Amino acid sequence: MAANNTLEPDVSQLTAVGAADEYVTPLVPVEAVDDAGEMLSSPVADRLPPITDLSLYELRSVVQEFGQPAYRAEQVAAWVYRSTIAGFDEMTNVPKALRHAMAERFRFTALDSQTELISSDGETRKAVLALPDGELIESVLMRYPQRWDGTGNDRATVCVSTQVGCPVKCSFCATGLMGFTRNLSSGEILEQALHFLRWTREHPPVVRNVVFMGMGEPLLNYDQTMAAADRLVDPKCAGLGVHRLTVSTSGWLPGLARLAEDPLAVRLAVSLHAPNDELRNVLVPLNKRFPVTQLMAALHEYQEKTERRVTFEYILLDGVNDSPALARDLVRLLHGLDSHVNLIPMNPVAELPYAPSSAEAVERFHAVLRERGIICTVRREMGRDIKAACGQLKTEFQKQRRRPSA
Ligand code: SAH
Ligand code: SF4
């Protein structure tokens, strides 16, 4: 794959287009494929769309176009979503002609793992993955195996990215520093979950949860994000439970309105980080467009329609948003909403002027919420030693690539 010369994109030269627009359609006619021989390699293989970009419906029409019965699509989907094979030629119950035809028109996978870091306790793995056009994204696996002392719930969660960079530019976030390059396609999103799903089949606990909390703002890439979610829960594809998917947003209200009407009942997390406009304008600049009162009104409406609990993420920044007075303001703000607050210890980012709150400040903040009846957890710090806050590892990886080798 010709990724190396494009690992350091000049972001200013790129325009924000949906990923799928950038792929070319097949150039090699299916009839020209040799049925008997080896897998033919296409001169445009690098530019082919990944098979994971197709819905099951689209996959059925593709196999029918190739003169095969529609049920072949389900066989193909089983291989793509529930096996550990590495290419079309390993789909042993699929006719060779169809395997060849698909290989000429699609790439089997959109992702190419560049590097993987493992935390010192072995339970967090972070991957930097290259996309077909050479852009880089990050995905994280968090394992909570059941232990002899009863801790851990024997689950594994994957955190996936939905964009390259992010246009929201929150002031504490490494991804925000990168600016925005492009949206991911549905295949590029869901394959991040497949990447770790495959690995955990051999290293349980198997992935059951997917959180759309990596790089990017999922609701600014709504269609591709929800298409990815759809195939992750489809029993004929990855077959995960719909309630095990969580979409996290910084508060893009048009997307929130769509989510409230969406038949796919994913869970919602809202990155609040501050209970008033003055502070939230600084931390989450999108707040200037959709201020706190508008956000809360939209969430009440969302809850009336869906009857689903809303999780609030609140990253604790030393001396910025961690005072007991702000905790009390937060309690008032959440009044009347079925909510859960997740307090997140900040992962320090070298280029940014914030530090994590002290353990005492976290406990003080937590206590105010708890004593006033708010359901609240402090997120277990995972993988700080491997730069687990979104965007940090990619930044580090690119810096190392830029350094001339000695
Ligand atoms: N854009 C969406 C989803 C991706 S960001 C959103 O903002 O909700 C997901 C989470 O990563 C956010 O809640 C944010 O708080 C967290 N995050 C970003 N930078 C972080 C850092 N330096 N330390 C800890 N968490 C961070
Ligand atoms: Fe984007 Fe979320 Fe990072 Fe904010 S916290 S810049 S919305 S990825």
Residue of the CA atom closest to atom 18 of ligand 1: 173
3 state SS of 269: strand
pLDDT per residue as tens digits for the range 44-86: 446 899 999 999 999 999 999 999 999 999 999 999 999 999 9
pLDDT, tens digit, for every residue of 192-210? 999 999 999 999 999 999 9
For residue 216, the ligand 2 atom closest to its alpha carbon is 8
Active site residue 390: yes
Is 90 designated active site?
Answer: no
In terms of Cβ atoms closer than 10 Å to its own Cβ (0-12, 13-18, 19+), residue 14 is: middle
| Dist. CA 167–CA 14, nearest whole Å | 13
Atom of ligand 2 nearest to the CA of 167: 1
Q: Decide which of 277 and 35 is more confident.
A: 277
User: If DSSP codes are grouped into helix, strand and coil, which group holds residue 1?
Assistant: coil
Distance CA 86, CA 168 (A): 36
Cβ of 346 less than 6 Å from ligand 1: yes
Pairwise CA distance, residues 226 & 221, whole Å: 9
Give the helix, strand, coil percentages of the chain, each rounded to 5: 40, 20, 40
> Cis omega before residue 205 (within 30°)?
yes
DSSP 372: T
Strands 310-316 and 267-271: parallel
pLDDT at 320 > cutoff 50: yes
CA of 318 to the centre of ligand 2 (A): 19
Residue 150 has a pLDDT of 74
Tell me how far the alpha carbon of residue 27 is from its chain's centroid: 31
pLDDT digits (tens, 9 = 90+) for 29-41: 223 233 333 333 3
